[in-house]
């Protein structure tokens, strides 16, 4: 067992976990934050994307102990109360979701993409950047539209207060 102390969605958290506990398991099972999904267990699908110290990571590839001392942002921490984050609002407005399983990971990846590329991001770059996130419903067209709209609307400032 190892003690892990981190900030999750702005709240300090300390827990004892097994050494081999993945960050996605820590978030879902230990903290009850089930918005981060486990889709493949092999880091291929991107359903588990969260931000660690402001950078998008696949939480199924990181041990909880590796996040010790870090700030973690999950889909649950993205909105400000009842006000959706601009990327969440764009996904809703442009129907960038279908079954919704990939949506949390897509949104978290999109926030990071917009942060890094800014408001002038083009469709080709968005598609390339989202290659690590799989939508089984093949809703990529509307997902790309949503990311582009969010980037344009936010002026590139789509990151949450991390």
With 0-12 / 13-18 / 19 or more C-beta atoms within 10 angstroms meaning exposed / middle / buried, residue 104 is buried
Structure confidence at residue 41 (pLDDT): 77
pLDDT in tens, the chain (162 residues): 999 999 999 999 999 999 999 999 999 999 999 999 999 878 899 999 999 999 999 999 999 999 999 999 999 999 999 999 999 999 999 999 889 999 999 999 999 999 999 999 999 999 999 999 999 887 799 999 999 999 998 764 444 433
Q: Is 3 helix (H, G, I), strand (E, B) or coil?
A: strand
pTM: 0.92
The DSSP output letter for 47 is T
Q: How far apart are CA 117 and CA 126, in angstroms?
A: 9
**Residue written as tokens 């889709």?**
39
Structure confidence at residue 136 (pLDDT): 87
Provide the 10 A C-beta neighbour count for residue 32: 8
Does domain 86-154 match CATH 1.10.150.120? yes
Query: For the chain, where are the E strands, in sequence order?
Result: 2-8, 11-17, 49-52, 55-58, 71-73
- In this structure, which topology does domain 2-76 adopt according to CATH? Ubiquitin-like (UB roll) (3.10.20)
Q: Which of 71, 59, 73, 68 is nearest to 23 (CA)?
A: 59
- For the chain, the residue count is 162
CB 135 within 8 A of CB 102: yes
CATH 3.10.20.30 in the chain: give the residue spans: 2-76
Q: How far apart are CA 132 and CA 78, in angstroms?
A: 21
CATH 1.10.150.120 in the chain: give the residue spans: 86-154
């Amino acid at each position: 067992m190892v003690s892990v102390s981190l900030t999750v969605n702005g709240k300090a958290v300390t827990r004892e976990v097994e050494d081999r506990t993945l960050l996605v398991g820590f978030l879902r099972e230990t903290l009850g934050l089930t918005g981060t999904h486990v889709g493949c267990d092999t880091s291929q699908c991107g359903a588990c994307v969260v931000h660690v110290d402001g950078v998008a990571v696949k939480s199924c590839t990181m041990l909880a102990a590796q996040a010790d001392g870090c700030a973690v942002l999950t889909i649950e921490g993205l909105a400000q109360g009842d006000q959706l984050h601009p990327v969440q609002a764009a996904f809703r407005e442009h129907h960038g979701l279908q079954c919704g399983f990939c949506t949390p990971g897509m949104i978290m990846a999109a926030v990071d993409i917009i942060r890094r590329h800014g408001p002038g991001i083009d469709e080709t770059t968005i598609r390339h950047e989202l290659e690590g996130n799989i939508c089984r419903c093949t809703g990529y067209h509307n997902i790309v539209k949503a990311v582009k709209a969010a980037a344009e609307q936010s002026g590139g400032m789509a990151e949450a207060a991390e």
